[in-house]
């Protein structure tokens, strides 16, 4: 079957809508399980995954599809895991259940790079992340309607956040979207989403204006904001031009954590107002056991108040964890108590309960089963707590659970992998 025209490819390299002349005689499309709920998949259900992991480098004239077998291991609201021998090139391939229906698309496999003159990418373990087929079908419907909206970036909290924002008063929603617009990169998906949502909120607000004074006041406020936003965006674009080569280098999966740390320090010189960079450096330094430096970056991050996102919540607990690791128990307990008093997020409050001895490991496991972001933050915190208590075996057990989230761009992911390496090196 020859592809005649690629219409669009919004999901990075895993998914594309294509148009063909017609389905060749004798071939039938694979049926899709459109009603499948990943949370309802029975554990250990048998599946097969199709793909072509080596591309055309190994076969010149024919394409032989790779077929691997596996079982459903863990399910979430927005994805599920299978224990099949997948490789990076399997991404985009269908996952088919015992009924012969497509239930998902291979999206990710956790890779590591061997040491040597020529680093080779190898799977860390036989576990792959699968996106439910329903998500691709939703995208197809959106494209048919002319409303493409998913860019392939896994953001499990976005829909939940939009629901919360819709429940706000319009004035508060406008304030939140303005803040999001100014804090995001001009070329980012978050910037575009914030801009669109801000325009929608402004339209809704205008509907309730009753007087000329209200219209004038709102128009003047919008004009002032647009001028400020334009100036901010121009400054950010210049900064992005300098930072782009650094971010490209940072995305290279073959570099060490020490190299990442050096790149982040250079980025901080170019963009000293970016609070995300000292936050990332705090985790890098802690993973590399540069404790004073990690604490300094934590102070730099917390100098200015910001909205309590996942990074803010995670770093709120990291300082207490570092002090615990150093044996400064009194200071650690004081920092932990202060951090927990400021936290309102239910999951991080649950983590506080565990770290303060009021919650059990089992209760946390149950709460993190449906949310990969809870899994990576939770097992990182539990592992670091155990390591600080000199229980290396328990720390390893927790640290090995964190990468199962497949959130490879989260700071905790790199942190746990580095801690595993260092514990193994110290205890061969």
Domain of residue 177 covers 158-237
243 lies in a domain? Answer: no
Report the sign of the C-alpha dihedral through residues 20, 21, 27, 32, in that order.
positive
pTM: 0.61
242 lies in a domain? Answer: no
Statement to judge: residues 335 and 283 lie in one domain: yes
Q: Which of 144, 179, 200 is the last residue of a domain?
A: 144
Statement to judge: residues 130 and 166 lie in one domain: no
Statement to judge: residues 221 and 110 lie in one domain: no
Q: Which residues are within 8 A (CB) of 265 and not within 5 positions of it... i.e. 6 or more apart?
A: 281
| CATH number of the CATH domain containing 20 | 2.40.10.10
Statement to judge: residues 327 and 381 lie in one domain: yes
| CATH number of the CATH domain containing 296 | 1.25.40.10
Statement to judge: residues 99 and 174 lie in one domain: no
Of the candidates 82, 79, 18, the residue with the CA atom closest to the CA atom of residue 45: 82
Statement to judge: residues 87 and 109 lie in one domain: yes
Of the candidates 357, 289, 290, 285, the residue with the CA atom closest to the CA atom of residue 315: 285
Statement to judge: residues 415 and 267 lie in one domain: yes
Intra-chain end-to-end CA distance of the chain, in Å: 53
- The count of domains in the chain is 3
Of the candidates 14, 131, 126, the residue with the CA atom closest to the CA atom of residue 71: 126
Query: Per residue of the chain (428 residues), what is the pLDDT tens digit?
Result: 333 333 333 344 456 667 677 778 888 888 888 888 888 888 888 999 887 665 544 445 555 667 888 888 888 877 888 888 776 667 788 899 999 999 988 877 655 444 443 344 444 455 678 888 887 777 777 766 665 554 444 444 444 545 545 555 677 778 888 888 887 777 676 777 788 888 888 887 777 777 888 888 888 888 898 888 888 888 878 877 888 899 888 877 778 899 999 999 999 998 887 888 999 999 999 999 999 999 999 999 987 665 667 788 889 899 999 999 999 999 999 999 999 998 888 899 999 999 999 999 998 888 877 788 888 899 999 999 999 999 999 999 999 988 877 777 788 989 999 999 999 988 77
Q: CA-CA distance, 285 to 166, in Å (whole number)?
A: 39
């Amino acid at each position: 079957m020859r592809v005649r025209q690629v219409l669009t490819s919004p999901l990075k390299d895993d998914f594309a809508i294509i148009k063909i002349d017609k389905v060749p005689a004798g071939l039938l499309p694979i049926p899709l399980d459109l009603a499948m709920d990943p949370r309802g998949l029975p554990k250990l259900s048998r599946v097969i995954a199709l793909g072509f992991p080596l591309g055309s480098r190994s076969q010149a004239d024919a394409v032989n599809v790779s077929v691997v077998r596996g079982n459903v291991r863990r399910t979430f609201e927005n994805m599920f895991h299978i224990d099949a021998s997948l490789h990076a090139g399997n991404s985009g391939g269908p996952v088919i259940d015992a009924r012969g229906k497509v239930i998902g698309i291979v999206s990710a496999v956790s890779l590591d790079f061997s040491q040597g003159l020529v680093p080779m990418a190898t799977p860390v373990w036989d576990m792959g992340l699968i996106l439910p087929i329903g998500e691709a079908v939703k995208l197809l419907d959106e494209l048919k309607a002319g409303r493409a909206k998913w860019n392939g970036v896994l953001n499990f909290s976005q829909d939940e956040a939009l629901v919360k924002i819709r429940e706000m008063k319009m004035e508060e929603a406008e304030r939140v979207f303005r803040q999001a617009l100014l804090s995001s990169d001009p070329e980012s998906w978050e910037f575009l989403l914030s801009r669109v949502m801000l325009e929608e909120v402004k339209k809704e607000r205008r509907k309730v204006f009753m007087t000329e004074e209200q219209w004038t006041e709102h128009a003047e406020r919008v004009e002032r904001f647009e001028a400020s936003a334009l100036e901010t965006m121009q400054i950010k674009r210049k900064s992005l031009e300098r930072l782009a080569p650094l971010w490209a280098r940072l995305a290279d999966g073959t570099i060490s954590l020490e190299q990442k740390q050096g790149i982040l320090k250079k980025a901080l010189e170019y963009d000293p107002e970016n609070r995300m960079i000292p936050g990332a450096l705090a985790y890098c330094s802690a993973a590399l056991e540069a404790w004073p430096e990690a604490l300094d970056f934590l102070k730099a991050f917390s100098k200015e108040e910001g909205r309590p996102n996942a990074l803010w919540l995670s770093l709120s607990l990291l300082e207490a964890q570092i002090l615990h690791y150093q044996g400064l128990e009194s200071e650690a307990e004081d920092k932990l108590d202060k951090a927990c008093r400021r936290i309102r997020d239910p999951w991080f409050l649950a983590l506080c309960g565990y770290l303060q001895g009021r919650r059990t490991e089992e209760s946390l496991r149950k709460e993190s089963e449906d949310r990969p972001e809870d899994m990576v933050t939770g097992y990182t915190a539990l592992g670091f707590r155990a390591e600080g208590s000199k229980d290396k075996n328990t720390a390893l057990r927790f640290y090995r659970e964190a990468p199962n989230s497949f959130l490879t761009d989260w700071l905790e992911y790199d942190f746990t992998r580095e801690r595993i390496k260092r514990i193994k090196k110290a205890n061969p």
